[in-house]
């Protein structure tokens, strides 16, 4: 059995992938440019990827491939229709990063909500040392318990975020983008009412035709001027140029992003030039990447391969 890992670097080199060796001959590449995918997978029985596009143009020459494993939950990099025609099974890993992403959601939100960048700078620049007062009130903040927290996407991550926000005392609501929503104890609001009501909105939904550019200039005009937007889902759900304009025009207070439209961030993304860290924080798509989560995704991938070789289905997408 020949196994090819196209993007070893995506789980970090502090995490071992040696447990995959028990299934056969493993060839590992730190990263793989698109133009090299076809050559690297041509003899593979199993391909392990994360972001590499796997479609007819990149894997048609891989005549032996039987299984594609994602080091991730999302699989929009894979042409599912093509794999189905070829009889190639595709599996992903679910739930491995839920706790990490929930944790990061609140790290971003509280950083903005409590003006932590401002207060840290106030102390470190020497202003606090020159103050006659033991505290400082020029840049005030509220309590979460008097705020409405809105969740878009009530899967495992969104549901846990809702529960944590509820534990803070927030009034928690969810957004009804579709009629066939997952049942939840939290009330659902139509999108227009949702964005006009919420003080904090966190995004945990997939990217699809309903959610692409969901947060655009029109949406920002309908949000509260002191609202905070958190996106830890997919970058293209938030129109980055429109968000830049919304921040400059004070349509909303701030945003915390772990995902952006193009990753790594491109130099022409206007958000890369927005310098006010009191109102915008961007992290490099690492909400999922706790030590535990990265180790877990490798172990779960191994279990997926083990099940496949035993003729069992585990986390099979198709």
Active-site position among 234, 279, 294, 296: 234
To the query of whether residue 222 is one of the catalytic residues in this protein, the response is: no
The two tokens of residue 135 are 């505290």
Which of 256, 299, 293 minimizes the C-alpha distance to 274?
Answer: 256
HSE of 267, CA atoms in CB hemisphere, 13 A: 0
Catalytic residue, from 263, 292, 313, 314: name it: 263
Contact 246, 219 (CB under 8 A): no
What residue spans of the chain are helical by DSSP H? 34-41, 56-59, 80-86, 98-113, 116-124, 156-167, 191-197, 217-222, 240-248, 291-309
Q: How many CB atoms lie within 10 A of CB 233?
A: 25
Active site residue 263: yes
Q: What token pair was written down for 155?
A: 């899967």
Q: In this structure, what DSSP letter does residue 73 have?
A: S
Cα 226 to Cα 105: distance, rounded to the nearest angstrom: 18
Active site residue 234: yes
**Which sequence positions are flagged as catalytic?**
234, 263, 285
């Amino acid at each position: 059995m020949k196994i090819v890992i196209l993007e070893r670097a995506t789980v970090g080199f502090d995490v071992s992938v040696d447990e995959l060796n028990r299934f056969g001959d493993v060839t590992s590449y730190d990263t793989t440019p698109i133009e090299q995918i076809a050559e690297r997978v041509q003899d593979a029985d199993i391909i392990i990827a994360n972001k590499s596009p796997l479609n007819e143009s990149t894997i048609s020459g891989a005549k032996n491939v039987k299984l594609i494993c994602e080091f991730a939950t999302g699989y929009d990099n894979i042409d599912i229709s093509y794999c189905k025609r070829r009889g190639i099974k595709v599996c992903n890993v679910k739930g491995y990063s839920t706790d990490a992403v929930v944790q990061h959601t609140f790290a971003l939100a509280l950083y903005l909500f409590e003006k932590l960048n401002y207060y840290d700078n106030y102390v470190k620049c020497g202003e606090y040392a020159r103050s006659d007062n033991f505290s400082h009130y020029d840049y005030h903040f509220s309590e979460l318990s008097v705020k409405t927290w809105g969740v878009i996407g009530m899967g495992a991550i969104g549901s846990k975020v809702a529960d944590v926000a509820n534990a803070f005392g927030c009034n928690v609501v969810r957004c009804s983008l579709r009629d066939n929503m997952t049942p939840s104890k939290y009330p659902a609001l139509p999108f227009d009412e949702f964005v006009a009501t919420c003080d904090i909105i966190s995004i945990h939904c997939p990217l699809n035709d309903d959610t692409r550019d969901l947060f655009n200039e029109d949406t920002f005009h309908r949000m509260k001027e002191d609202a905070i937007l958190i996106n830890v889902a997919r970058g293209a759900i938030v129109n980055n140029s429109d968000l830049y304009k919304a921040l400059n025009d004070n349509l909303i207070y701030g945003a915390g992003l772990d995902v952006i439209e193009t990753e790594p961030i491109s130099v022409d993304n206007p958000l890369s030039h927005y310098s006010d860290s009191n109102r915008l924080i961007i992290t490099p798509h690492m909400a999922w990447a706790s030590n535990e989560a990265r180790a877990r995704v490798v172990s779960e991938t191994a279990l997926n391969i083990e099940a496949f070789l035993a003729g069992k289905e585990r986390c099979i997408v198709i």
